[in-house]
């Protein structure tokens, strides 16, 4: 039999648009000779709908759209993920549509409540398997987290299943695909059943979904691998315990992460209907990478870079910015902040009398730039994207209401050392970032001869501490025991702790690690806890 995997890009709350995508997948499946179409988890409403699920009108609209969809393909069997409400109780459900109606409904049994997941806030768990027959084959529906535990798979096998079908909305992070292979492989080994993993694709706020649907035959071999970060309707053949379908080429980690960033920008801009983006271009590596990502995501003609030099801006920064613009093809303008900075200093001089210049004046320059970008955004409707990386966001090496001002933080979850890796990968496909930008020591250029490493530990050390303390919850003592300098560890951990108030006011950005400074980082601003260093 042929099964159509509808790896589609849905939008939360867009019932009409999501249903249209499902209908298109049904049409392609019919043309390919498939008798079963499978969509991702909560495909009808988009994932994650968050507190929209608490609204009765949201659930009612979902139910109405599901009934309309069932009538569209009476000749096909279609598995659709959707929310289901019975009175005051809600379920994360998957329905089998067939014969013009809703034939069966399965309720997700295991509800994740960690990292970015809050499903126990919204749903009640199911407790029964759902096995149905198509072309003489018995297929079990499961939903995402179900198969991260052995019981639902064993339950499905006991109910007579010949194939485990898993529909998913599993947010991407760097190690996620290998984790899926490992866990799904365990379920195949335990049950002796083949497994088809169907996954959504696209960006939803800070989350990105990588697609990469796959099928494992009963012997544990990979017989189908969908594309990563691309929509598709793939035809997969199921016969004698074997799954066979297209095999996408494997990607390097750098290419996968870059695709994740492009997807996050494209869908945030597109789904929120912004005409384009604005960014401050400094001639540094971070803003250069952001410019390249945005150009690849939405087209260079919709990307407007603004160079805002001050008295501390090196001439090579302007030259390099112009070269980045030439290589990427993005739009460019230049607005000097010097007269505005002079006016601010003049106005503040009586209040600052007798005090030397310090970070106040440095931050003032950044806030002037932020104000100029936001003014352009107000006038022309473009989204301001910020260019700060995770190393800076972690340690507070960023200016509140300055370079943090904007609507979307493209590389918010990318540490500085990874920035360099991504730039090298992107230049390997076609050069868009000048070598001098890569080779120059990073600098905010807010005072004479300023370098990032004047204020921060070396990025190789800083990034390692951020990963271990913030992403892995290691203690400072554990990090020091791995050979890192105790003073550097203490300093980085202190900076992470005291800059929570800044991060709480930062825009959302693409999540690519198991823990980003977003939905899965929920530390209090006011806290007396001090880690032992």
Domain hosting 395: range is 255-452
Q: What CATH number is given to the structural domain containing 108?
A: 3.60.110.10
Picking from 401, 429, 452, the residue at the C-terminal end of a domain is 452
- The distance from CA 382 to its chain's CA centroid, rounded to whole angstroms, is 21
Q: Which tens digit of pLDDT belongs to each residue from 325-344?
A: 999 999 999 999 999 999 99
133 among known catalytic residues: no
Beta strand 137-143 pairing with 131-134: antiparallel
Position 397 in a domain: yes
Long-range contacts of 527-533 (CB under 8 A, 24+ apart): 527/497, 527/500, 530/497, 531/475, 531/476, 531/493, 531/497, 532/475, 532/476, 532/477, 533/476, 533/477, 533/480, 533/486, 533/489, 533/490, 533/493, 533/494
Mean pLDDT calculated for residue range 198-221:
97
Report the range of poorest mean pLDDT among 125-129, 202-206, 208-212, 437-441: 437-441
Do 304 and 224 belong together in one domain?
no
Quick check: is 41 catalytic?
Answer: yes
In a domain, 12, yes or no: yes
Average pLDDT, the chain: 95
pLDDT at 77: 97
What the block records as the tokens of 299 is: 């087209």
User: Residue 532 — pLDDT band, cuts 50, 70, 90?
Assistant: confident
Query: What mean pLDDT is predicted for residues 367-390?
Result: 97
Q: 528 is written with which tokens?
A: 């007396």
In a domain, 18, yes or no: yes
305 belongs to a structural domain: yes
User: Does residue 49 sit in the same domain as residue 132?
Assistant: yes
Residue 458 lies in a domain: no
- CATH value at residue 313: 3.40.50.620
In a domain, 296, yes or no: yes
Question: How many other C-beta atoms lie within 10 A of the C-beta of residue 441?
Answer: 9
For residues 463-472, average pLDDT: 95
Q: Are residues 231 and 307 in the same domain?
A: no
The pLDDT assigned to 40 comes to 98
Percent of residues, the chain, with pLDDT higher than 90: 92
Q: Which of 231, 250, 269 is the last residue of a domain?
A: 250
Same structural domain for residues 56 and 191? yes
Token pair for 454: 């004047």
Give Dmax over CA atoms of the chain in angstroms.
Answer: 87
> Residue 517's pLDDT band (boundaries 50, 70, 90)?
very high
Share of the chain above pLDDT 70, in %: 97
The catalytic position among 45, 130, 144, 294 is: 144
Query: Long-range pairs for 479-487 at CB < 8 Å and ≥24 separation?
Result: 480/533, 485/457, 485/461, 486/533
pLDDT above 80 for 443: no
> Average pLDDT in the 435-443 region?
86
* 513 strand-pairing partners: none
Q: Does the active-site annotation cover 416?
A: no
Q: Kindly report the pTM of this predicted structure.
A: 0.94
Q: Is the peptide bond before 48 cis (omega within 30 degrees of 0)?
A: yes
Residues 6+ positions from 47 with CB-CB distance below 8 Å: 10, 12, 40, 41, 169, 200, 204, 209
Residue 419 and residue 348 share a domain: yes
pLDDT of residue 313: 86
DSSP 252-320: -HHHHHHHHHHHHHHHHHHHTT-S-EEEE--SSHHHHHHHHHHHHHH-GGGEEEEE---TT--HHHHHH
Tell me the pairing of strands 207-210 and 222-225.
Answer: unpaired
Number of folded domains in the chain?
A: 2
Residue 444 pLDDT > 70: no
From 219, 250, 281, give the residue that closes a domain: 250
Distance of CA 510 to the CA centre of its chain: 4
What is the model's pLDDT at position 531? 87
Per-residue pLDDT tens digits for 226-274: 999 999 999 999 999 999 999 999 999 999 999 999 999 999 999 999 9
Residue 396 CB partners (closer than 8 Å, separation 6+)? 495, 498, 499, 502
| Co-location of 291 and 337 in the same domain | yes
Pair (243, 268) in one structural domain: no
Token code pair at residue 312:
């501390």
Question: Are 51 and 161 in a shared domain?
Answer: yes
Whether 232 and 259 map to the same domain: the answer is no
Q: Does some domain include residue 472? A: no
The whole-number average pLDDT for the span 432-458 is 78
- Which pair of tokens denotes residue 204? 């939803």
Tokens of 321: 């910015």
pLDDT band at 447 (very low <50, low <70, confident <90, very high): low
* Active-site annotation holder among 59, 108, 162, 390: 108
Residue with the two structure tokens 């913030």: 470
Is 179 in the same domain as 107?
yes
Could you tell me if 77 and 198 lie in one domain? yes
Q: What are phi and psi of 244, to 5 degrees?
A: -140, 135
Same domain for 268 and 221: no
The answer to whether residue 83 is domain-embedded is: yes
Q: What is the predicted pLDDT for the residue at 441?
A: 80
Statement: residue 450 has pLDDT above 90: no
Is a pLDDT exceeding 70 seen at residue 508? yes
């Amino acid at each position: 039999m042929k099964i159509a995997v509808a790896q589609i890009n849905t939008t939360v709350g867009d019932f009409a648009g999501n249903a249209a995508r499902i209908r298109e997948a049904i049409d392609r499946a019919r043309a390919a000779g498939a008798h079963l179409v499978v969509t991702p988890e909560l495909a009808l409403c988009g994932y994650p709908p968050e507190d929209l699920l608490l609204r009765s009108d949201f659930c009612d609209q979902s139910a109405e759209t599901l009934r309309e969809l069932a009538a569209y393909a009476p000749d096909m069997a279609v598995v659709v993920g959707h929310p289901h409400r019975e009175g005051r109780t809600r379920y994360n459900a998957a329905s089998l549509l067939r014969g013009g109606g809703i034939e069966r409904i399965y309720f997700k049994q295991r509800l994740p409540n960690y990292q970015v997941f809050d499903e126990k806030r919204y749903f009640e768990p199911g407790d029964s398997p759902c096995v149905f027959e198509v072309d003489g084959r018995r297929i079990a529906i499961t939903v995402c987290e179900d198969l991260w535990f052995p019981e639902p798979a064993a339950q499905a096998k006991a109910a007579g299943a010949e194939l485990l079908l898993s529909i998913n909305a599993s947010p991407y992070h760097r190690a996620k695909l290998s984790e899926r292979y490992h866990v799904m492989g365990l379920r195949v080994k335990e049950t002796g059943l083949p497994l088809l993993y169907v996954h959504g694709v696209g960006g939803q706020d800070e989350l990105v979904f990588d697609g990469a649907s796959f099928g494992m035959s009963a012997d544990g071999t990979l017989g189908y691998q969908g594309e990563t970060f691309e929509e598709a309707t793939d035809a997969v053949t199921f016969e004698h315990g074997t799954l066979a379908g297209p095999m996408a080429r494997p990607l390097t980690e750098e290419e996968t992460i870059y695709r994740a960033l492009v997807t996050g920008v494209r869908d945030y801009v597109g789904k929120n209907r912004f005409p384009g983006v604005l960014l401050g271009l400094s001639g540094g590596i971070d803003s250069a990478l952001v410019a390249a990502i945005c150009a690849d995501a939405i087209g260079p003609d919709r990307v407007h870079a603004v160079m805002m030099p001050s008295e501390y801006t090196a001439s090579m920064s302007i030259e390099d910015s112009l070269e980045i613009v030439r290589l990427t093809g993005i739009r460019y303008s230049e607005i000097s902040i010097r007269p505005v900075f002079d006016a601010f200093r003049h106005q503040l001089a009586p209040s600052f009398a007798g005090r030397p210049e310090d970070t106040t004046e440095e931050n003032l320059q950044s806030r002037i730039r932020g104000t100029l970008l936001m003014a352009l955004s107000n006038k022309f409707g473009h989204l301001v994207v910020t260019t700060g990386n995770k190393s800076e966001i972690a340690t507070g090496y960023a200016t509140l209401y300055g370079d943090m001002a904007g609507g979307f933080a493209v590389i918010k979850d990318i540490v500085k050392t990874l920035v360099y890796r991504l730039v090298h990968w992107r230049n390997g496909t076609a050069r868009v970032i000048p070598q001098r930008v890569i080779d120059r020591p990073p600098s905010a250029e807010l005072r004479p001869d300023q370098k990032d490493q004047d204020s921060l530990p070396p990025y190789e050390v800083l990034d390692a501490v951020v990963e271990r303390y913030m992403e892995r919850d290691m203690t400072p003592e554990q990090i020091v025991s791995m050979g890192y300098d105790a003073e550097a560890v203490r300093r980085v951990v202190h900076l992470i702790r005291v800059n929570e108030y800044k991060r709480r006011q930062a825009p959302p950005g693409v999540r690519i690690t198991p823990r980003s400074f977003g939905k899965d980082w929920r530390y209090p601003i006011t806290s007396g806890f001090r880690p032992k260093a």
